[in-house]
Amino acid sequence: MVDASLLLKSGKIDPQAISALNDGPAIAEALAQAAGNEQKAALALAAGRIKAPQARAGLVALLGLEGLPGRSAAWALAQLGAEAELLAAVDAERLDARENGYWGLMVLAARGAASATLVDRLNTLVAREVQRARAGGTGLGEHACRVLAILGASGVDAQVQQVIENDRFCDRFELQRLRKAVQDGGRDQDSIRELTAPFTTLFSEHLISLAPVAPVAPAPSPQAPLAAPAAKTPPAKTPPVAHAAPGGVAPGGPDEEPLPGEEAAAPVAVPIDWKAFASSPECSALNAQSKGLIAQLGPALEQLAVRAIQAPLVDLSGQEFAALLLQVLPQALPQQAVQAALSPQALNAYQALAKYLARTALATHGEELLQGVKLVRRELTEQMRRSGILNGPDYSDPDAPKVK
């Protein structure tokens, strides 16, 4: 029997505990008896990770739930290829079930697991969502269009236009993005990359952080500039980790041995030259607010990467960089500073940094870092959409063509 309470730490899901579960029948049994929403979500992710067919019925029962448990169940059912069950949720009257059903179909389509008949069914659903919007209800036509765009179905442009013309509350920005994605590449590749990511990326905001992060000080006011984490003084017997010299070798010498009984210091990478970045074309193109944010947050990100992910910032993958911004940074900064650190202006600065590191070949995975920032943009936009926030921050990509 699986003890679902062991899958949580401090109210968040432990991804390592999820990855240790491989018994499908036990997961299904625990799912049927789980009490809290967080436990249900954790078990749904565990079932989806191993594609446990025994949990199918329990997952379907969660589709009508709002937020994390319903979304986790939809993701898990997509891993199982449960197209019929997801379509049944879309047919339900409850808004949460419909949203979860569509999202599960997006994941299923991105995985390449859709049936040959799904396109025809989605075209019918677009018309139904438009009719619902005309009658004064909540239409989800853009959700159906997104599944069609992921599939690269013909006629997406016409379906997008139908929703725009008939649903005054639709997400026009998203619909225009879908239209252009299909025109440019045949399929919505951005959605495919996002929705085929591991659950640790898709649900990162609900998981415990990768590693404990030391608090940063001082705590600024909302209007005050952000402060980078202060370097801590090493314990008396531990030699401090030295910054690398210009040649890439620490002053103490590459062969310096740790003291008896002590662990060796982590490898030291050449730090980013923030003055060089400040004079780069990428940084020069930023507005004054973005320049100020990256000047303060850039060095902080370098420290947090080593503390939390145990790798230099320049060596992170795109997904690790996204996790650093979405998981680690919010826990490391004072609450009143998080909003500024994840503002559109800050995202523009991170994107400029990623482009600089890619152009100068200073990063091991330069282009991946850029895609990591774009993933964060999509995740923050999706969070606002799920929360029903209107007129929130504009996380649109400054590199994307402007829609006229």
Say whether pLDDT at 260 is over 50: no
Give the pLDDT confidence score for residue 269 in this predicted structure: 52
Query: Where a domain ends, among 205, 239, 260?
Result: 205
Q: Are residues 196 and 277 in the same domain?
A: no
Q: Are residues 25 and 174 in the same domain?
A: yes
CATH of the domain at 108: 1.25.10.10
Q: Are residues 284 and 332 in the same domain?
A: yes
| HEC letters along the chain | CCCHHHHEECCEECHHHHHCCCCHHHHHHHHHHCCCHHHHHHHHHHHHHHCCHHHHHHHHHHCCCCCHHHHHHHHHHHHCCCHHHHHHHHCCCCHHHHHHHHHHHHHHHHCCCCCCCHHHHHHHHHHHHHHHHHCCCCCCHHHHHHHHHHHCCCCHHHHHHHHHHHCCCCCHHHHHHHHHHHHHHCCCHHHHHHHCCCHHHHCHHHECCCCCCCCCCCCCCCCCCCCCCCCCCCCCCCCCCCCCCCCCCCCCCCCCCCCCCCCCCCCCCCCCCHHHHHCCHHHHCCCHHHHHHHHHHHHHHHHHHHHHHCCCHHHCCHHHHHHHHHHHHHHHCCHHHHHHHCCHHHHHHHHHHHHHHHHCCCCCCHHHHHHHHHHHHHHHHHHHHHHCCCCCCCCCCCCCCCCC
At residue 390 the predicted structure's pLDDT band, cuts being 50, 70 and 90, is: low
Say whether pLDDT at 142 is over 60: yes
Q: What is the greatest pairwise CA distance in the chain? A: 76
Decide which of 148 and 260 is more confident. 148
Asked if residue 116 belongs to a domain, the reply is yes
- The residue-averaged pLDDT of 161-171 equals 91
Say whether pLDDT at 314 is over 80: yes
Query: Half-sphere exposure of 389 toward its Cβ, with a 13 Å CA cutoff?
Result: 12
Q: Are residues 220 and 139 in the same domain?
A: no
Which stretch of 28-42, 61-75, 104-118, 290-304 has the lowest confidence by average pLDDT?
A: 290-304
**Rounded to whole angstroms, how far apart are CA atoms 302 and 387?**
31
Which stretch of 56-70, 145-159, 180-194, 207-221 has the lowest confidence by average pLDDT?
A: 207-221
Q: Are residues 343 and 316 in the same domain?
A: yes
User: How many structural domains comprise the chain?
Assistant: 2
CA angle 367, 369, 373 (to 5 degrees): 120
Q: Classify burial at 151, counting beta carbons within 10 Å of its beta carbon; exposed 0-12, middle 13-18, buried 19 or more.
A: buried
Phi, psi (rounded to 5 degrees) for 54:
-65, -20
Q: Are residues 199 and 297 in the same domain?
A: no
Give the pLDDT confidence score for residue 11 in this predicted structure: 86
- The residue-averaged pLDDT of 135-148 equals 94
Asked if residue 262 belongs to a domain, the reply is no
Say whether pLDDT at 187 is over 80: yes
At residue 209 the predicted structure's pLDDT band, cuts being 50, 70 and 90, is: low
Say whether pLDDT at 230 is over 50: no
Decide which of 99 and 267 is more confident. 99
Residue listed under structure tokens 């070798």: 249
Domain span at residue 281 reads: 216-229+270-404
- The residue-averaged pLDDT of 316-325 equals 89
Give the pLDDT confidence score for residue 400 in this predicted structure: 74
At residue 389 the predicted structure's pLDDT band, cuts being 50, 70 and 90, is: low
Asked if residue 242 belongs to a domain, the reply is no
Q: Are residues 188 and 221 in the same domain?
A: no
Give the pLDDT confidence score for residue 347 in this predicted structure: 93
**Rounded to whole angstroms, how far apart are CA atoms 282 and 359?**
10
Asked if residue 337 belongs to a domain, the reply is yes
The encoded tokens of residue 60 equal 């379907």
On whether the pTM is more than 0.85, the answer is no
Give the pLDDT confidence score for residue 218 in this predicted structure: 36
Give the pLDDT confidence score for residue 383 in this predicted structure: 80
Q: Are residues 225 and 172 in the same domain?
A: no
Asked if residue 244 belongs to a domain, the reply is no
Q: Are residues 188 and 330 in the same domain?
A: no
Phi, psi (rounded to 5 degrees) for 12:
-120, 160
CB contact at 8 A, 315 and 245? no
Give the contacts of 351 (CB within 8 A, at least 6 positions apart): 370, 373, 374, 397, 398, 399
Average pLDDT, the chain: 82
At residue 205 the predicted structure's pLDDT band, cuts being 50, 70 and 90, is: confident
Q: Are residues 23 and 170 in the same domain?
A: yes
Q: Are residues 184 and 310 in the same domain?
A: no
Asked if residue 265 belongs to a domain, the reply is no
Decide which of 5 and 240 is more confident. 5
Asked if residue 311 belongs to a domain, the reply is yes
Asked if residue 236 belongs to a domain, the reply is no
**Rounded to whole angstroms, how far apart are CA atoms 378 and 284?**
25
Give the pLDDT confidence score for residue 80 in this predicted structure: 97
Say whether pLDDT at 232 is over 80: no
- The residue-averaged pLDDT of 251-273 equals 48
Q: What is the pLDDT of residues 326-373, one digit of tens each?
A: 888 888 887 768 888 899 999 999 999 999 999 998 888 888 898 989
Which stretch of 104-113, 312-321, 391-400 has the lowest confidence by average pLDDT?
A: 391-400
Q: Are residues 189 and 314 in the same domain?
A: no
- The residue-averaged pLDDT of 92-101 equals 93
Give the pLDDT confidence score for residue 250 in this predicted structure: 34
